[in-house]
Amino acid sequence: MEHSTSGGPAWSRLAGFGVLILAALVVAFAVLQSTGPGDNPTVSTADAAPELEVVLDATAEPLADDANDAGDASDDAGSIAAMADGADENAMTNDEPSPKAMESATSEVTDAVMDEVIAEQDAMDDDAGDDDDDAGDDDAMGQDALAAAPDDTENAFAFAPKLAEAPPLLGEVGTLTNLDGWLQSDITSLEELEGQVYVVQFWTFGCFNCKNTLENLRRVYDIYGDEGPDGNGGIEVVGVHAPEFNWEADPDAIADAALDLRVNWPIALDTEKTNFRDWQGSRRFWPRTYVVDQFGQIRFDRIGEGAYERLEATVAWLLEHGPDEVPAT
């Protein structure tokens, strides 16, 4: 008996030390992960189909940069659209942002960013050993650069990830009820989007994982929003803001966060989280992203981060095929 009582604590201490060492290792790896590339909210290369990497990288890289660095990473016309996005951030100093204001800000590329576009183009020309007649002409070069962006957007369907088959029907979309209002929106209900492809995302601005999805959602919105790549109507994105904490519920704080995070799509204020619960049932997560087709059917449902290519592919498929080819039920 004595033997067992004296041996017990020794084993216990040894096991304790073992668990402590393991716990320390886990914490060390967790800290490394949280300060490493895992924090980079750009397209995950692991998530990307190999053949898409070039296209995705070209657009994702500038988005990851600060607006002041927007010109640094541009190598092609595709990235110029992202630079205009950077200018958008520079121009968004208005206290009362709206989608239209942001849109106009996007079109008014600042001189500073244009200078970077020109400098980048000059560098490319020098490298190629090509004496371009327009190289010293800032305005002409700027126009050329901007003109290239829509061409790239028009080819979005060609470059978009492809679905092997039609996206599955996952049920009828719900409605948004008991909202506290809308921010930066011309719509006041999802019913107004009937006949249109749209993305609904439940998020909150304090959620790290939600923020990680925004770069990619913005990218999809930039390419497929407005009139769409083919001019036949684009998508809308609706961010349903369901705050986890009270400090995330203040509309002014949400508007400020939307500016900081460059969320330029309509935001529905689900302050009481009524829709967060109703839509997700017992399976409630931040973030949750849905793609809804022209007939109000959910065609994509994603919990958390990732599957960015599938989201884009679903949007592209629905837009490309149009309501005539998309089954109604």
Tokens of 49: 């189909």
Q: Which is nearer to another protein, 66 or 245 (CB)?
A: 245
> 75 by DSSP, 3-state: which?
coil
Among 107, 126, 136, 208, binds another protein (CB under 8 A): 208
Question: CB–CB of 105/89 below 8 Å?
Answer: no
Question: CB–CB of 149/84 below 8 Å?
Answer: yes
Q: Which residues contact 265 (CB under 8 A, 6 or more apart)?
A: 99, 184, 217, 221, 225, 236, 237, 238, 239
298 lines the binding site for another protein (CB under 8 A): no
End-to-end C-alpha distance for the chain, whole angstroms: 73
Q: Which is nearer to another protein, 26 or 123 (CB)?
A: 26
Among 31, 49, 147, 158, binds another protein (CB under 8 A): 31
Pairwise CA distance, residues 107 & 94, whole Å: 15
Question: CB–CB of 329/169 below 8 Å?
Answer: yes
49 lines the binding site for another protein (CB under 8 A): no
CB 63 to another protein: min, Å: 18
306 lines the binding site for another protein (CB under 8 A): yes
Among 218, 219, 299, 302, binds another protein (CB under 8 A): 302
33 lines the binding site for another protein (CB under 8 A): yes
Pairwise CA distance, residues 50 & 68, whole Å: 30
Q: Which is nearer to another protein, 198 or 290 (CB)?
A: 290
Give the number of residues in contact with another protein, rule: CB under 8 A: 47
**Contacts to another protein by CB under 8 A:** 9, 12-13, 15-20, 23-24, 26-27, 29-31, 33-34, 38, 44, 47, 206-210, 212, 244-247, 277, 280-287, 301-307
